[in-house]
């Protein structure tokens, strides 16, 4: 079967900095892929190239066999690749319900941004999506809370629920648990991954916590110095001596559990 995402010889340079090089990856539909790597390894750059937020210096990206290299992020999003950012992108002054309505409605219109403000966007489909997402992401308790007042974990849930409001085939999550306490991270990921599984979304998630990677990823891509140095099951990648030496050494020493995976 055609991979849902195919990346060929991807490179990105920022002046003299090589942020991505020689990346070749095929992601089959419905796979959940963890992306690991130290700060500055090129994880966000990789995500940004797939979603069209930055243009590769060279190489190609295919989505379900179609070449999407260099297309604008809005076009790529409309085609079915959505994402979340390291910092949640929500409207702080709106409630959870209003945020979700906005995302669900915007995802269902082709109108320009100016027209968003002028036309009533909320149709039946957008309201149905809003209600379903609020249940699926366990946001009912916060439905009428202003987004600015939400605990960090709930804010992330809302952000991710909004990112899938357009029913994408692929979702890229850039550090979905950043800024979340250790105790809350696991519950957050349970809700997110359960919701995405039921929506049949292919997921790539950037994560620094190796226990979460081991628990939620079916496959792991380990980034170092702009390229993938290990690609396989969590046990294979987290057990790879190069990964342990260059990326997870400290994490394994701290958690004590990953080394026995
Ligand atoms: N817009 C930019 N301009 C210049 N250099 C950049 C830019 N974006 C990223 N870089 C550089 O590219 C490299 C990869 O950065 P990237 O943000 O992809 O890393 P990362 O793996 O996501 O790190 P982190 O874990 O800190 O989020 C780094 O050396 C970074 O400084
Ligand atoms: Mg990053």
127 and 193, same domain (yes or no): no
Residue after which a domain boundary falls, among 111, 136, 167: 167
116 and 72, same domain (yes or no): no
Question: Does residue 256 register a pLDDT over 50?
Answer: no
Cα separation of 66 and 62, whole Å? 5
Secondary structure (3-state) at 51: coil
pLDDT single digits (tens) 198-250: 999 999 999 999 999 999 999 999 999 999 999 999 999 999 999 999 999 85
Would you state the pLDDT for residue 145?
Answer: 96
161 and 192, same domain (yes or no): no
Q: Tell me the CA–centroid distance for residue 100 and ligand 1, in Å.
A: 30
Residue after which a domain boundary falls, among 149, 167, 185: 167
147 and 122, same domain (yes or no): yes
Could you tell me if residue 69 is inside a domain?
Answer: yes
11 and 44, same domain (yes or no): yes
Does the CB atom of residue 41 touch ligand 1 within 6 A?
yes
Query: What would the two tokens of residue 51 be?
Result: 């979603």
The residue whose C-alpha atom lies closest to atom 5 belonging to ligand 1 is 14
145 and 102, same domain (yes or no): yes
Q: Which residue has the tokens 């394994």?
A: 252
Q: Please enumerate in sequence order all residues whose Cβ is within 8 A of that of 6, keeping only pairs 6 or more positions apart, or say none.
A: 25, 26, 27, 60, 61, 62, 65
Does the CB atom of residue 45 touch ligand 1 within 6 A?
yes
Does the CB atom of residue 153 touch ligand 1 within 6 A?
no
Where do the H-state alpha helices sit in the chain? 43-50, 73-79, 96-106, 113-118, 124-136, 152-163, 182-198, 210-216, 234-238, 241-243, 249-255
112 and 143, same domain (yes or no): yes
Secondary structure (3-state) at 91: coil
> What percentage of the chain reaches a pLDDT higher than 90?
76
| Pocket-testing residue among 36, 42, 177, ligand 1, by greatest number of atoms within 8 A of Cβ | 42
Question: Does residue 116 register a pLDDT over 70?
Answer: no
Would you state the pLDDT for residue 242?
Answer: 96
Q: Which atom of ligand 1 sits closest to the CA of residue 12? A: 12
Query: What is the average per-residue pLDDT within 151-161?
Result: 94
Query: What is the average per-residue pLDDT within 1-9?
Result: 95
Chain centre distance of CA 43 = 11
67 and 178, same domain (yes or no): yes
Secondary structure (3-state) at 142: helix
pLDDT confidence of 254, banded at 50, 70, 90? very low
Please tell me the number of Cα atoms within 13 Å of 32 on its side-chain side. Answer: 20
Of all ligands present, the nearest one to the C-alpha of 227 is: 1
Residue after which a domain boundary falls, among 167, 193, 225: 167
In 10 A of CB 65, how many CB atoms? Answer: 9
Chain centre distance of CA 97 = 22
CATH number (domain holding residue 60): 3.40.50.300
Question: Does residue 120 register a pLDDT over 90?
Answer: no
Domain encompassing residue 131 = 90-167
pLDDT single digits (tens) 52-78: 999 999 999 999 999 999 999 989 999
Does the CB atom of residue 239 touch ligand 1 within 6 A?
no
The residue whose C-alpha atom lies closest to atom 2 belonging to ligand 1 is 14
156 and 178, same domain (yes or no): no
Q: Which atom of ligand 1 sits closest to the CA of residue 175? A: 27
260 and 156, same domain (yes or no): no
Q: How high is the mean pLDDT of the chain?
A: 90
12 and 75, same domain (yes or no): yes
In 10 A of CB 243, how many CB atoms? Answer: 23
- Name residues with Cβ closer than 5 Å to ligand 2, which is an ion: 43-44
pLDDT single digits (tens) 14-55: 999 999 999 999 999 999 999 999 999 999 999 999 999 999
Cα separation of 75 and 25, whole Å? 22
111 and 134, same domain (yes or no): yes
Query: What is the average per-residue pLDDT within 180-207?
Result: 95
Q: What Rg do the C-alpha atoms of the chain give, in angstroms? A: 18
The residue whose C-alpha atom lies closest to atom 24 belonging to ligand 1 is 39
The number of domains in the chain is 2
Would you state the pLDDT for residue 261?
Answer: 32
């Amino acid at each position: 079967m055609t991979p849902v995402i195919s990346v060929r010889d991807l490179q990105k340079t920022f002046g003299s900095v090589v942020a991505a090089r020689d990346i070749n990856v095929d992601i089959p539909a419905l796979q959940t892929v963890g992306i690991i790597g130290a700060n500055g390894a090129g994880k966000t750059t990789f995500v940004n190239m797939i979603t069209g937020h930055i243009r590769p210096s060279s190489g190609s990206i295919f989505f379900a066999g179609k070449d999407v290299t260099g297309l604008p992020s809005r076009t790529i999003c409309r085609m079915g690749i959505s994402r979340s950012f390291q910092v949640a992108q929500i409207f702080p002054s709106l409630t959870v319900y209003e945020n979700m309505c906005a995302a669900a409605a915007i995802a269902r219109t082709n109108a320009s941004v100016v027209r968003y403000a002028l036309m009533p966007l909320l149709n039946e489909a957008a309201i149905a999506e809003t209600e379903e997402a609020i249940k699926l992401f366990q946001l009912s308790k916060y439905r009428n809370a202003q987004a600015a007042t939400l605990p960090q974990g709930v804010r992330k849930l809302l952000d991710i629920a909004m990112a899938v409001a357009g029913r994408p085939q692929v979702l890229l999550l850039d550090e979905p648990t950043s800024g979340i306490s250790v105790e809350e991270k696991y519950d957050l990921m349970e809700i997110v991954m359960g919701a995405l599984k039921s929506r049949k979304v292919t997921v790539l998630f950037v994560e620094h916590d190796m226990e979460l990677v081991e628990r939620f990823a079916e496959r792991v891509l380990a980034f170092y110095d702009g390229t993938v140095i290990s690609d396989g099951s969590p046990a294979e990648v987290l057990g790879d001596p190069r990964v342990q030496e260059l990326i997870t050494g400290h994490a394994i020493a701290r958690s004590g559990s990953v080394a026995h995976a």
